[in-house]
Structure 1
Amino acid sequence: MRIKPLLCALALTAGAAAAQETDGDAPLTGPDWLSDTIIRPHGDVATSATPPEITVMPLGQVRLDAVGILPFATTGLPAGLWADSAPDTLARLMLSQPAEGLPAMLAFTRQLALAELDPPQDASTEAILFLARLDLLLDRGALEPARALMERAGPADPRIFRRWFDVSLLTGQAERACAAMRASPDIAPTFPARIFCLARSGDWPAAALSLGTGEALGFISTAEADLIARFLDPELFEGEPPLPLPPEMTPLHYQMLISLGERPPSNALPLAFAHADLADLAGWRAQLDAAERLMRASAIEPEQWLAIYTARTPAASGGVWERVDALQSFDAALLASDPEAITRYLPEVWAAMQQAGLETAFARLYSDRLLRLPLTGEAAMLARRVGLLSPLYEAVAQGAVAQDDHERFLFAIARGEAPEAPPRTGTDAITTAVASAFADTTPPERFTRLLNLNRTGEALLRAARTLSAGAGDTDDMADALRLFRALGLEDTARRAALQLMILDRA
C-alpha cells in the first residue's frame, strides 16, 4: 500500500473550501477517565497565551511526534505525510475519529496512529500529535498497541507515564506499574496513586499515614477517602452497604473496587475498561460482553474473541447466548468438514454476526476454510460474501463466477475495476456512490487544495472520518473513496467499498 505521486499538478480550487470542514471540539487533554496519578500531569494544556520561546533540542533527543511502531516498509506511507499541516489540526482530526465504525477505516486510522512518520513542520516539543495518536488508541480500547507505542517512546514524560500507568492497571499489571513509579525519581505520584502502590507493596502503615495526610491537606476528597479507607481495611467496613460508584470512574478507582469484590459492570464504562472483564475472574457473561465490545472496535484480535466465545457451553438462551450457540454449532460443523451441516448453520451464524456487528471478525477467522468447501447454491454465495469481507477478497472475485448483478458488482470492486453498471434492481445511493468512486481515479476537487499544500495526511483523516459511519452524504463518501484510490491506497479503498456494500452500518 503506497501513496503514488500525482501525475499532474493539482489546481487550487474554490471547491477546497469543502475540505475545510469543522475539526470539532475534541479536547487535547486526554480521555476524561484517566486516573489522577501524577502531580501536575496535564503538560499538554496551554497555560499562557504568550508566544512560546524558541527551544533548542539536544542531538539524539527523541521527538515524540516521530515515534511509531510501524515502519515505512510495513505501511508504505511516505515519511512526510503530515508535512505542512498544523499539529493541533491533526490532533483534533485524530481525536474526532469514531471508536466504532467501518472496519476498514478503523484499521487505517489505527495504522496512522502507529506509523513512523516525520513530525509536522511546525511541531513543537509539546508533542500534541503523539498524545492524540495515543489517545485515539486508548479511546478505542486498543491497549496493547497503545502500550507498545508508549514503551517505544519511553514513559519518562509524565503525560505518557500517566497513560501507561492506567493501561497497566486495566491489563492486570498493577505491580509493574507501581514498581515503575517507585523507580522513576522524575515521576511525582498523587496521594491516591502513592497510597495504592504502598498498599500493593504491603506497606500498610505508610499507606494509612498517607491517607490521613492527603485528607488533612485537602488533596483527597471525602468520597475518594472513603473508597481508599475501605481498600486499605475492608474488614473495618464489613456489613456496610457498598459505596456509590464514583461519578467519574478511573482505572485507579476501578482497581480498588475490584479488590473489594465490588466489580462495577464495564459495559457502561469507556471501552478501555472492558479489558478488565476479559479475565476469568469476571465471569463468562462479562467476558463475552467485553469481547464483543472490543472486537467491534477492532481493539482485540479475532482469535481472542473466538477463544472466549468457545470457552464453555452456553447454559442460557437469548441475546449473546444465542450468538455463542450459533457460532459453536457452525464451528463444530466446520471442524468436521460436514458440508450439509455447514449449509444448515451458516445462515444462522451469519445472522447472529450481523446482529452483533461482528461480520468482519467472523470473515477473518473462517473465510479461508469456507471457500475451500464444496458448497453450492445460497450457501456458496453466502460463503463468497463472507470471503469478500476478508483479506482474500480479490482471490474470491478472481476465482468465482458471479451469479447475479449484485455479486458481479461486488466482484468488480474487489478487483479494483469500474463496474459496468450498478445492479438493475435495488440500487441505492451507496451503490451509486461506490460506482462513481471506481469510475474515476482523479483526486476529488474538495481535497485538491490540501494535497497541493502538502497536507496529505490531513486530507486522509478527513476522508476516513467521512467514511467511518458507513452512512451520510453519499457524494462526500464517493469523494473520500476517490481520494484513497488517487493516492494509491487501493486496498483500503476496496475494503471500505465492499464493507459499505455488504455491511449495514447506517
Structure 2
Amino acid sequence: MLAAGAMAALASGGAAQTEASGGEPLSAIDWLSRSVTPPPVADIGPPEAPVADSAAAPRISVQPLDSASPDSVGLVAPRLSGLPRGLWSASAQDKLIALIEAQPIETLPAVEGLLRLLMLAAADPPAGADARGKLFLARIDRLLETAALEPAAELLQEAGPDDPERFRRWFDIALLTGTENTACRAMRDKPAIAPTWPARIFCLAREGDWQAAALTLNSARALGEVTDAEDAMLSRFLDPDYYEGEPPLEAPERVTPLVYRLREAVGETMPAAGLPRAFSHADLRPTKAWRAQLEAAERLARHGAIEPARLFGIYTARTPAASGGIWDRAAAVQAFDTALRAEDRRAVAETLPAAWTAMRAARLRAAFAQHYATDLAALELPDTVAGIALEVALLGPDYEAAALAPDAPIDNAGLAAALARGLSAPPFGPPPEEPMALALLDGFSDRAPPEALARMIEEDRLGEAILRATLLIDQGRAGDTGALSDGLATLRAVGMEEVARRIALQVLLLDRPA
C-alpha cells in the first residue's frame, strides 16, 4: 500500500483537477523559450512482451560517477511515496518518455494526483539514462504542461538549473511566477546558460543596466540574432517614451513567458485565459486585480495546479464588487466559509446548496471537497442538505467512512458505498445495471491485470505499468468499460488500493451528468 504521506500528496496535489475533463482545449508545451523540441515520439505500442532478436548477452551501459543522470532527482522519497527506488530502472527510457507524453492533460483529480506523484518521486534512472536526464526533462515538461509550476521549480532547483535545458525551464517558471530576479542573477553569473538573446536583454534591464541592455540589443540586431518582432518588442521595452502614440505591436506568432512579460511591460498585456494554462500563474501575483486573481485561481485549481487552500484564500480575501458569474461564486463561498468557521449548523445548511451549485458550475467540486469535507463532516446537518454533505464527503479525504448507511440520500448509494470500501458488489440496495457501474465494480473483484501489464509488474517495470494503467482508465471513461476495469485492477495489483477507490468514486460522481 502507498504510504500515508503519498496519499496526502495525492489528495492535495490532484484534488482540484477537472471534474469531467471538458471545457478547455489541450495545451501544447511549445510555449517554452524554445527549450523544448519534442524528440521523435517512440511508439508506445501495445503492452506486449519484448521479443529478443539475439541470444547474446544484453549490453550494459556505463557512465562515470561525475556525470550521473538527474533522472534520480525527486522531491518525494520512497518512504513517503510508497514507490520503490526501482520505479523506472527496469524500463527503457524512451518508452517511459513516450508514455508520459501520451498522458492526457484533462483527466480525473485522483489520476492527475497519481501522475504528479510519479513525476516528483525520487527513483533510480531508467535503462539507457545518461547525464542529459531525458526522463527528468520529460517529468518536468509534464508538470509544466499541467501548470504545476511550483513543484517543477523545486525539482529543477534540486537537480541544479545550471544546465541550459534545465535553466530554460526554470527561467520560464520564474517569469510566470514573478521570481525572475533570482533567475536573472543566475544568468548573470553563468551567461552561457541564457536561453535566448532577448532573455539576456530583459535581465540586463531588470537589473537596472539599461545601457548594457541597449548595446546588447544592437549587437543581437547586427548579428541577426533577433527577429523583427522581437526587435520591435524589445525596443519598446527599453525606450517606451520614444514609441508613445505608435500603433500596438502585432500579435505574436508564438507566446512564450518572456513575450508575455515584455508585452505586459509595454502596456499590451495579453489575457492569460486565452493562453496555455501555466500562464494563469502570472495573474496570481499581488499586483493583479482581484478578479484576475480569482479567474486564474479557479482555472489552476480546477486542474490541480495550485492547492485548494490557495483558491479559497483568494475567494475569501475581499468583498465582491459586483454580481453575476465569478462574483456570485465568491459571495456563495464566502457565506458558506463564514458559517462553517462559526460552526453555525443552521447557517451552514442555508449556504451549502448555493456554494455547491457554484462549485459544480465552475467544475471545482473536488477542490471544495478536499478543502471543506473534514470540517463539514464534524457538524450534524439537517436532512435537507444530507445529500450534498454526503457527496462532499465522498470526494473528500475521509471517503471510506462516508457511505456506510443504507439510507444514504443520493442516487447509487449502494454503488458509492462499495467503491468507497473497495467491494465488488453493493453492500445494500439493488445491483447496478449500467455498464460503467458494472465496470467500476469489476475493477474491485478478483480480476487480474491484463497479461502484458502483469508481466511488467513481475519484471519490476512498475512505473511503466502504472502509466499504462492510467491510460486504460481514461480510455475506459471514454466508453471502453473493459479498459476501466483493467486499469483499476492494475492499480490494485501494485498496492494502490486507495488511489483506485478515489478514481472509481470520481468516475461515479464527477463524470455523471449534472
TM-score bracket relative to the smaller structure? 0.7 to 0.9
Aligned partner of 1:329 among 322, 335, 338: 335
- 2:371 corresponds to which residue? 365
**Aligned-partner residue type, residue 221 of structure 2:** E
C-alpha deviation, 1:159, in angstroms? 0.5
Mapping of 1:377-456 within 5 angstroms? 377-397=383-403, 402=408, 406-420=412-426, 424=430, 427-445=433-451, 447-456=453-462
Residues 440-466 of structure 1 show CA distances to partners (whole Å, capped at 9, x for unaligned) of 253234523433444331121122133
Match of 2:309 among 275, 300, 303: 303
Distance 1:424 1:394, change over 3 A: closer
1:370 shift after superposition: 1.1
Q: Residue 478 of structure 1 corresponds to which residue in structure 2?
A: 485
Q: Would the alpha carbon gap of residues 55 and 259 (structure 1) be closer, same or farther in structure 2, given more than 3 Å must change?
A: farther
Assess if the C-alpha contact under 8 Å between 1:68 and 1:149 holds in 2. yes
**Greater relative contact order, per chain length (Cα 8 Å cut-off, separation 6+):** 1
Contact persistence 1:441–1:486 (CA under 8 A): no
The match for 2:112 among 86, 90, 106 is 106
Mapped contact 1:450–1:456 kept (Cα < 8 A): yes
The letter of the residue matching 1:138 is L
Aligned residue among 193, 196, 206 for 2:199: 193
Q: Structure 1 83/287 Cα, relative in aligned 2: closer, same or farther at 3 Å? A: same
Superposed CA offset, 1:471-494 (max 9, x none)? 331211111011111211011001
Distance in 2 between residues matched to 1:249 and 1:482, nearest whole Å: 42
Q: CA 1:258 to 1:85, structure 2 compared with 1: closer, same or farther past 3 Å?
A: same
In 2: Cα distance, 1:423 partner to 1:430 partner: 17
CA distance in 1, matches of 2:427, 2:102: 35
Q: Distance in 2 between matches of 1:118 and 1:495?
A: 28
Give the superposed CA RMSD.
2.6
Amino acid at match of 1:246: P
CA distance 1:54–1:411, shift in 2 (3 Å): closer
Partners of 1:103 and 1:59 in 2: how far apart?
39
Aligned counterpart, 2:496: 489
Q: State yes or no: 1:32 paired with 2:17.
A: no
Whole-angstrom CA distance in 2 between matches of 1:337 and 1:299: 30
Question: Structure 1 CA distance, aligned partners of 2:423 and 2:98?
Answer: 35
- How many angstroms apart in 1 are the aligned matches of 2:509 and 2:39? 43
CA distance in 1, matches of 2:341, 2:256: 43
Q: CA deviation at 1:178?
A: 0.7
Matches of 1:254 and 1:344 in 2, distance apart? 43
Mind listing any 5+ residue stretches in structure 2 that lack a counterpart?
A: 4-25, 41-58
Question: Per-residue CA shift, 1:180-239, capped at 9, x if unaligned?
Answer: 001125425532111111111222122111112211221111111000000001111112
Decide whether aligned partners of structure 1 residues 423 and 458 sit closer, same or farther in structure 2, where only a CA change above 3 A counts.
farther
The yes-or-no answer on 1:314 pairing with 2:312 is no
Deviations 1:67-88 (A, max 9, x none): 1110001111112122332211
Q: State the TM-score, normalizing by the size of structure 2.
A: 0.86
Is residue 2:346 matched to residue 1:348?
no
Partner of 1:12: none
Q: Is the 8 A contact 1:166 1:251 kept in 2?
A: yes
- Aligned-partner Cα distance in 1 for 2:88–2:229: 45
Runs of 4+ in 1 over 6 A off after TM superposition: none
CA 1:60–1:178 in structure 2 vs 1: closer, same or farther (change >3 Å)? Answer: same
Indicate conservation of the 8 Å contact 2:210/2:238, yes or no: yes
Match of 1:49 in 2: none
The percentage of counterpart residues that share the same residue type is 48
Which residue in 2 is equivalent to 1:81? 87
- What's the CA shift for 1:361? 0.8
Distance 1:505 1:211 in 2: 55
Task: Confirm or deny that 1:240 pairs with 2:240.
Answer: no
**1:291 maps to 2:297:** yes
Does the CA-based 8 Å contact 2:87-2:463 persist in structure 1? yes
For structure 1, the 5+ residue unaligned runs are 4-25, 47-52
